């Protein structure tokens, strides 16, 4: 650099640390960014100007941290995830920067209620559910703990669909989250990467060594959009870099110049389709070409970005394992493995074995499922067409791997077939989980039980082959968003009791155990819960026109709609209670009043899930309007459950429904959020429920249902759901009521497929666990009758679940997998 102006060395902005300063910047942003005055501004203008004001404040620290991370050359994490379910940004960024009070006062000084501006923000829903939300919690913890890291993903133009109900049935609307602009993103077209696809490979002679090169058929540009990820009260700002697909100008120009305007526009559309929309399936992936394009697009861009911008020109690649770990969030980014090999071998000229040794130290893989149908495979046909060189590399990896397997286990053909990365049935395809397992330095599950089942079942041969490779990191959730922001009343109560440090040291919640014995504290805790219910009630009234009944237990089941999660079991409990009232077996007055809240999106092509949504709505409309119920049961199903709604529902809940069939839910993270907000759990011995129960204790957790080994045993002996129906009059009455058409205006055909499915093809053993579930719900009713004892239990749930902070998860990743100490 030549003569340096003194300002070039100084922080870029002086932050507005006073209300006046904030007002001034806000008004300037209104004028110069939005081109309006305060009086002529729309709510969106004001939201945008406010967001810009907060953003500017973070900017200086951000630039500083980017420089530090480059210069320090400390080992860092590249988190590769196809999804980030971020939720709203404004409040989180205000909290992280301690600007909440100043901003609130500044807005008030301008005659604006900051709450009205909060409502303006459309949340970036760039994820389906648990996996995407986990990624969002992790980048929050990484920033808060000062771990050098960057999150890489896709900037979908349309996130998870907006769910509406028409006659009780799900109808999907596009999620145009960018329609009014996004103040939190910084596009960097100058830093675009060119990403290639298709074509063929050629062999060539490189000084007597035969090498392969890829001659691609077409390419697109990946343009990075940076998002700030502020740490909580530590002045750090990390980066989330999401890629957008844009047509390459060369490609464009060629066609334009040839005079084929329409073709050029088509090419543009084709390229931009890659980052157009998030696939709304959260299991049973279909082998769609566009999906593979998305996956390769973002990991190829991310690897190129990392190698170019984080490493010196003459970097010695053999030192890479001391510099970076690429964490694969499920199999979606696993094509990064052959891409990394291609870059090292084809582009940088490393020997295969050297490159492979580096690769095996630079990647680690997190598995998030146990369902066989959720394990991703790509047909060799498709892969070979889209990424021919990568397919070659995968074959070579597999050949070398199977060679090693033979050396160890002999020519055991069955085992070779079982362990091969290439499966031959039904069609030849690549098993991405196997590729990830072979390539990864470590493979982890997301809860103790899940990790154990991975080792014992799904990846058993690999565990035997690679001793020490498998480990567990139990999931966690960020206490900033899910306690501090979502539940400010509880946060204040905790801070009153324990002081302020708990937000970054959640195990301190243990200190609340003593307060559980203090009647005055219990009364305050109960008042927090009651106030949160009133707030939720207001939200649901203005959002959906629902009126939540006073004095009801709030019984909540919010999560994606999937048969294994068993929303049907919850529904059978509701129908059973309803049936017992209308048949006169129980007086309405003797029923503990409950409001059931559901929130759930179904994958658009998942027919059974959509039927179940329809049935929930149908039961709701009958139950809610039947005078015989005397208002003691209420079923509410607000559409479009998302992070924003979760932040309202969870703090208000009394009872958390975590009722998946044992051995099916990898972890769950909603379960943790509820416990931390003082809901009691009714749950199976599944996923992280197991650990929640261990920590909370049997007295304050409603366990029911078969254990995983019991599930296995019942399957093995031949499960006949109809037998359970025959033997249990209560169950029979509930199912008969559904079958009778009572919830479909007398039309028996509407829900017949659900009934048949339960009776003859109950894959997730709803009927087998029904009796146990109903019994557990009776224990819930009994416990709820003693409100003070319930509150005590709720406090103990909060006190004992500090373990589930995502800060602890990140610490475990650092200790067991990454070995990337915080850089303070
Ligand atoms: C794959 C290919 C094609 C289309 C879609 C997909 C796809 C997308 C998302 C497959 C799976 C997902 C998401 C899975 C998921 O959210 N799993 C959940 O992860 C949580 C975080 O670890 C766990 O708590 C949950 O138990 C697990 O279900």
Q: What is the pLDDT of residues 587-623, one digit of tens each?
A: 999 999 999 999 999 999 999 999 999 999 999 999 9
Asked if residue 280 has its Cβ within 6 Å of ligand 1, the reply is no
Query: Minimal CA–CA distance to 796: which of 805, 788, 786?
Result: 788
Task: Judge whether 469 counts as a catalytic residue.
Answer: no
The owner of tokens 């035969």 is 210
Helix, strand, coil % over all residues of the chain, rounded to 5: 55, 15, 30
Say yes or no to pLDDT of 690 above 50: yes
Q: Structural domains in the chain?
A: 10-72+88-122 (no CATH), 311-472 (3.40.50.2000), 479-811 (3.40.50.2000)
The mean per-residue pLDDT over the stretch 136-144 comes to: 98
Choose which residue among 83, 126, 128, 558 to substitute to test ligand 1 binding: the one with the highest number of ligand atoms within 8 A of its C-beta. 128
Query: Minimal CA–CA distance to 303: which of 143, 152, 198, 186?
Result: 152
pLDDT tens, residue by residue, 779-796: 999 999 999 999 999 999
Q: Which residues of 501-528 are buried (b: 16+ CB within 10 A; e: fewer)?
A: ebbbebebbbebeebbeeeebbebbbeb
**What is the three-class DSSP state of 205?**
strand
How much distance in Å is there from the Cα of 127 to the middle of ligand 1? 9
Task: Judge whether 368 counts as a catalytic residue.
Answer: yes
Q: Which residues of 222-245 are buried (b: 16+ CB within 10 A; e: fewer)?
A: bbbbbbbbbbbebebbbbbbbbbb
Nearest CA to ligand 1 atom 21: 131
Asked if residue 339 has its Cβ within 6 Å of ligand 1, the reply is no
Whole-number percent of the chain with pLDDT over 90 = 90
* Ligand 1 atom closest to Cα of residue 133: 21
Asked if residue 291 has its Cβ within 6 Å of ligand 1, the reply is yes
Task: Judge whether 361 counts as a catalytic residue.
Answer: no
How much distance in Å is there from the Cα of 768 to the middle of ligand 1? 26
Task: Judge whether 276 counts as a catalytic residue.
Answer: no
Asked if residue 669 has its Cβ within 6 Å of ligand 1, the reply is yes
Task: Judge whether 24 counts as a catalytic residue.
Answer: no
Asked if residue 665 has its Cβ within 6 Å of ligand 1, the reply is yes
pLDDT tens, residue by residue, 317-330: 999 999 999 999 99
How much distance in Å is there from the Cα of 152 to the middle of ligand 1? 17
Task: Judge whether 529 counts as a catalytic residue.
Answer: no
How much distance in Å is there from the Cα of 660 to the middle of ligand 1? 15
**Rounded CA gap, 642 and 160, in Å?**
9
At residue 254 the predicted structure's pLDDT band, cuts being 50, 70 and 90, is: low
Asked if residue 283 has its Cβ within 6 Å of ligand 1, the reply is yes
Say yes or no to pLDDT of 9 above 90: no
pLDDT tens, residue by residue, 160-200: 999 999 999 999 999 999 999 999 999 999 999 999 999 99
Query: Minimal CA–CA distance to 417: which of 390, 433, 393, 398?
Result: 398
Average pLDDT of the chain, as a whole number? 95
Sign, Cα dihedral of 347, 353, 359, 365: positive
Which member of 431, 480, 559, 562 is catalytic? 559
Say yes or no to pLDDT of 710 above 70: yes
How much distance in Å is there from the Cα of 368 to the middle of ligand 1? 6
The owner of tokens 């939540």 is 548
Cβ-proximal residues to 728 (8 Å cutoff; 6+ apart), any chain = 770, 771
Query: Minimal CA–CA distance to 654: which of 675, 634, 639?
Result: 675
How much distance in Å is there from the Cα of 601 to the middle of ligand 1? 14
Specify which residues 443 forms β-bridges with: 365, 470
Asked if residue 278 has its Cβ within 6 Å of ligand 1, the reply is no
Model pLDDT, residue 252: 60
pTM comes to: 0.97
Out of 264-273, 567-576, 653-662, 680-689, pick the least confident: 264-273
Query: Minimal CA–CA distance to 588: which of 597, 578, 596?
Result: 578
Say yes or no to pLDDT of 65 above 90: no
Say yes or no to pLDDT of 12 above 50: no
| Contacts made by residues 727-733, CB under 8 angstroms, sequence distance 24+ | 728/770, 728/771, 730/576, 730/580, 730/771, 730/774, 731/572, 731/576, 731/767, 731/770, 731/771, 733/576, 733/579, 733/580, 733/583
**Rounded CA gap, 493 and 511, in Å?**
12
Query: Minimal CA–CA distance to 224: which of 246, 250, 197?
Result: 246
* Beta pairing, strands 553-558 & 594-599: parallel
The alpha-helical segments, DSSP class H, found in 194-335 are 249-257, 261-272, 289-310
* Ligand 1 atom closest to Cα of residue 687: 26
Which member of 241, 415, 673, 808 is catalytic? 673
């Amino acid at each position: 650099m030549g003569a340096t102006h003194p300002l070039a060395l100084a922080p870029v902005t002086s932050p507005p640390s006073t209300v006046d300063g904030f007002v001034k910047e806000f008004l300037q942003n209104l004028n110069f960014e939005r081109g309006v005055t305060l009086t002529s501004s729309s709510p969106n203008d004001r939201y945008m100007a406010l967001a810009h004001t907060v953003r500017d404040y973070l900017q200086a620290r951000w630039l500083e941290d980017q420089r530090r991370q480059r210069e320090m050359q400390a080992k860092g994490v590249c988190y590769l995830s196809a999804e980030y379910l971020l939720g709203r940004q404004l409040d989180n960024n205000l909290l992280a920067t301690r600007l909440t009070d100043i901003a609130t006062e500044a807005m008030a000084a301008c005659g604006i209620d900051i709450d009205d501006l909060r409502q303006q923000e459309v949340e970036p829903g760039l994820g389906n559910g648990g996996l995407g939300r986990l990624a969002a919690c992790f980048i929050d913890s990484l920033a808060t703990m000062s771990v050098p890291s960057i999150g890489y993903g896709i900037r979908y133009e349309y996130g998870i669909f907006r769910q509406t109900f028409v006659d009780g049935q799900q109808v999907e609307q596009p999620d145009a989250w960018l329609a009014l602009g996004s103040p939190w993103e910084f596009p960097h077209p100058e830093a675009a990467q060119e990403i290639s696809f298709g074509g063929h490979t050629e062999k060539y002679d490189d000084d007597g060594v035969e090498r392969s090169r890829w001659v691609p058929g077409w390419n697109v540009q990946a343009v990075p959009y940076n998002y700030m990820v502020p740490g909580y009260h530590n002045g750090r700002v990390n980066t989330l870099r999401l890629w957008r697909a844009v047509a390459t100008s060369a490609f464009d120009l060629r066609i334009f110049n040839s005079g084929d305007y329409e073709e050029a526009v088509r090419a543009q559309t084709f390229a931009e389709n890659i980052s157009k929309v998030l696939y709304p399936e959260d299991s049973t992936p279909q082998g769609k070409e566009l999906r593979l394009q998305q996956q390769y697009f973002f990991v190829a861009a991310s690897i190129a970005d990392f190698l170019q911008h984080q490493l010196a020109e003459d970097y010695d690649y053999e030192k890479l394992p001391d510099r970076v770990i690429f964490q694969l969030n499920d199999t979606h980014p696993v094509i990064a493995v052959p891409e990394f090999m291609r870059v090292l071998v084809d582009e940088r000229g490393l020997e295969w074995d050297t490159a492979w040794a580096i690769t095996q130290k630079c990647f680690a893989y997190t598995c998030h499922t146990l369902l066989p149908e959720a394990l991703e495979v790509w047909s060799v046909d498709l892969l070979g067409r889209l990424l021919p060189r990568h397919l070659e590399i995968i074959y070579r990896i597999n050949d070398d791997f199977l060679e090693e397997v033979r050396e160890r286990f002999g020519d055991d053909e069955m085992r070779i077939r079982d362990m091969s990365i290439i499966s031959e049935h039904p069609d030849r395809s690549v098993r991405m989980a196997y590729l990830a397992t072979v390539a990864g330095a470590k493979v982890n599950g997301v809860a103790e039980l899940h990790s154990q089942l991975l080792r014992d079942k799904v990846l058993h041969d690999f565990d035997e082959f690679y001793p020490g490779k498998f480990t567990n990191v139990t999931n966690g959730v960020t206490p900033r968003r899910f306690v501090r922001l979502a539940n400010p009343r509880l946060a204040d109560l905790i801070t009153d009791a324990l002081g302020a440090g708990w937000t970054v040291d959640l195990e301190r919640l243990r200190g609340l155990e003593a307060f559980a014995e203090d009647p005055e504290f219990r009364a305050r805790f109960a008042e927090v819960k009651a106030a949160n219910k009133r707030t939720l009630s207001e939200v649901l009234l203005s959002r959906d026109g629902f009126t939540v009944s006073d004095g009801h237990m709030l019984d909540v089941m919010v999560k994606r709609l999937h048969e294994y999660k068993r929303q049907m079991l919850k529904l059978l409990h509701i129908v059973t209670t309803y049936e017992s009232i209308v048949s006169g077996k129980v007086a309405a007055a003797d029923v503990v009043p409950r409001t059931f809240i559901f929130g759930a999106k179904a994958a658009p092509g998942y027919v059974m899930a959509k039927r179940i949504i329809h049935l929930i709505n149908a039961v709701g409309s009958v139950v809610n309007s039947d005078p015989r119920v005397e208002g003691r049961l209420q079923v509410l199903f607000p559409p479009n459950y998302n992070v924003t709604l979760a932040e309202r529902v969870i703090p208000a809940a009394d009872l958390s429904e975590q009722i998946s069939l044992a051995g099916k839910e990898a972890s769950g993270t909603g379960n943790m959020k509820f416990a931390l907000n003082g809901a009691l759990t009714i749950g199976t011995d599944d996923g992280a429920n197991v650990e929640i129960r261990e920590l909370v204790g049997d007295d304050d957790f409603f366990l029911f249902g078969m254990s995983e080994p019991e599930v296995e045993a019942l399957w093995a002996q031949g499960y006949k759901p109809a037998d359970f129906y025959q033997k249990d009059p209560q169950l029979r009455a509930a199912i008969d009521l559904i079958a009778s058409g009572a919830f479909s205006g007398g039309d028996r055909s509407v829900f017949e497929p659900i009934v048949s499915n339960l009776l003859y093809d109950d894959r997730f053993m709803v009927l087998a666990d029904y009796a146990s579930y109903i019994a557990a719900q009776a224990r819930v009713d009994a416990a709820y009758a003693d409100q003070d004892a319930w509150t005590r239990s709720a406090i103990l749930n909060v006190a004992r679940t500090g373990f589930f902070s995502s800060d602890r998860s990140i610490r475990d990743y650092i200790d067991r997998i990454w070995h990337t100490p915080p850089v303070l």
